[in-house]
Structure 1
Amino acid sequence: MGLLSNRVTRESLKAGDHIYSWRTAYIYAHHGIYIGDDKVIHFTRRGQEVGTGTVLDVLLVSSGPIKSQELCPNCTTSEDGHGVVVSCLNCFLAGGVLYKFEYAVSPALFLAKARGGTCTLAVSDEDEIVVHRAKYLLENGFGCYNLFKKNCEDFAIYCKTGHVVVDEGTIGRSGQAISTIGGSLAAVLSSPLRFVTTNVYGIAVTAVGVYCVSRYAADIGMRSDVVKIQVEDLTRSLAVGLLRVIEPQISMNLAPQSTQIVSQ
């Protein structure tokens, strides 16, 4: 994969790969976990690739692929409506180009990929663990879909890393969300600097810098509000509706203590 594109061939795929495909006009990308045998497990909003329940859906849904009226015999839907489905690779791509999400990239490469949702600083787990998580969530669900807090990219990243964000007030967990929010944030934060420089190029460079810093700090591999949780514990916690972080107790023991996560 090159600096500007993560495009790959079907022949290069292996079970456990995090793949994605951009939709019309590169408005958004749909992400999933390839599990082999030409099948992909991915997270949707009740069968729809995206959705917010607002007027924004008019733009998002219109940019998505046109669904065939005939059901594909190789694809299945979620019977209980939890949104995690398995599709054949052709249906997942929906005529789009195949890309592979990159893990454990260097900070330089991460910042060079200006569009979010293509790579992360976080390290992926072994392929067998990734496939196990995806299949387990296919059977047990991944909670309620949320475009900004829990979308298809978040699902794929969890399957690859086992990491979840425990701060429920945080907006924009995935790279795509950070790109959208970060771009607006960069424009807002850079505007006061017009009093420092009246050069339009200087303001533009500053805006890009703020955007890059926001993406870097919000990446799942850099965040401080991220914990690792087993998929079985995750689904139990989602069923309860609460993830609570137990901070390590201060003691005289100098050995490092890990943060735990439990359900209530």
Structure 2
Amino acid sequence: MVMTIINKILTILMQLMWKVVRPEDLQLGDHVYRYGLYGLYSHHGIYIGDGYVIHFTPTQRRKNTFPSIFKSSYKPSPCSTCGYQKSIDCGVVKTCINCFRQDGKKLRSLHRYEYGWPLLRSKFARRGTCTTLLDTKWPHQVVDEANELHVDNAFGDYNLINNNCEHFATYCRTDNRASEQAAFFSGCKRILKEAKGWIMKKLL
């Protein structure tokens, strides 16, 4: 009894601090994500029930994806649960939770994306974890949207800055294509470009 109470308290604290969610606690239409590349980015998807997630992965016409030095040589065989094969399946895919959590040979923790955060508070949050957008859809509407996009593979070409997995998940939840982590990286890129221009001007 005491251990059960302690476990519940620890679970609540973990969820409050890190937004970690156990697979069995996922709710229909949840926007979930997991970290990759040592926490430098997050991969997003929509939980559609029965242990499955629909998420957007790089398409065959790969543009603006991570440089080849970041790409893993690990090539898994088709999943025995859902049949997903990363080296073949692309675009809007439907996979089991473990395939979604897979990062190389590791299974990452699941996190729940937060909606409706105050602007000031979201400024200090880790990018790709929350948004000021409001989720006004019912869970079944979110799932229907994700399923339709999956069936037709209809979310366009993957683009790290303009059309990525976070854009996909927020679109399913809000009908708005938004990505906080893409906006952050785009801002960093712009600052670096301006800094480079300033340095070159000083050198000339």
Q: Normalization by structure 1: what TM-score?
A: 0.58
2:46 to 28, 33, 38: 33
Partners of 1:46 and 1:190 in 2: how far apart? 33
Structure-2 separation of matches of 1:130 and 1:174: 17
Structure 1 residue ranges without an equivalent (≥5): 165-172, 192-264
Matched, 1:111 2:123: yes
How far apart are residue 184 of structure 1 and its match?
A: 4.1
| One-letter identity of the residue aligned with 1:57 | P
* Pair 1:52-2:52 in alignment: no
Matches within 5 A, 1:9-24: 9-24=22-37
TM-score, with length taken from structure 2: 0.74
Q: Kindly tell me: are residues 97 and 47 of structure 1, through their superposed partners in 2, closer, same or farther at Cα, counting changes over 3 Å?
A: farther
Give a deviation string over 1:188-213, Cα, whole Å, max 9, x none: 7799xxxxxxxxxxxxxxxxxxxxxx
**Aligned-residue RMSD, C-alpha:** 3.1
Structure 2 SS opposite 1:25: coil
Q: Distance in 2 between matches of 1:46 and 1:189?
A: 31
State the partner residue of 1:61: 71
Pair 25,82 (structure 1): closer, same or farther in 2 beyond 3 Å: closer
1:175 partnered with 2:186: no
| Preserved contact between residue 27 and residue 47 of structure 2 (Cα < 8 Å) | yes
Q: C-alpha deviations, 1:26-49, integer Å up to 9, x for none?
A: 12211100001000001112379x
- What is the match of residue 154 of structure 1? 167
The match for 2:95 is 87
Deviations 1:30-83 (A, max 9, x none): 1100001000001112379xx5367x4313423x9x4422433324479xx761
> Would you say the 8 A contact 2:64–2:159 is kept in 1?
no
Q: What corresponds to 1:134 in structure 2?
A: 146
1:44/1:18 CA distance change after superposition, 3 Å: same
Gaps of 5+ in 2: 1-14, 197-204
Aligned residues with identical type, % of pairs: 34
State the alpha-carbon separation in 2 of the partners of residues 175 and 76 from structure 1: 28
1:211-222 aligned at under 5 Å gives the runs none
Change (3 A) 1:7 1:148: same
Q: Residues 220-243 of structure 1: CA distance to partner in whole angstroms, max 9, x if unpaired?
A: xxxxxxxxxxxxxxxxxxxxxxxx
Cα deviation digits, residues 4-42 of structure 1 (max 9, x gap): 522222232101000010012112211100001000001
- Of 67, 72, 95, the residue aligned with 2:80 is 72
For residues 101 and 47 of structure 2, what CA distance do their matches in structure 1 show? Answer: 12
Letter in 1 for 2:56: F
Give the Cα–Cα distance (whole angstroms) in 1 for the partners of residues 146 and 29 of structure 2. Answer: 9
CA distance in 2, matches of 1:174, 1:23: 16
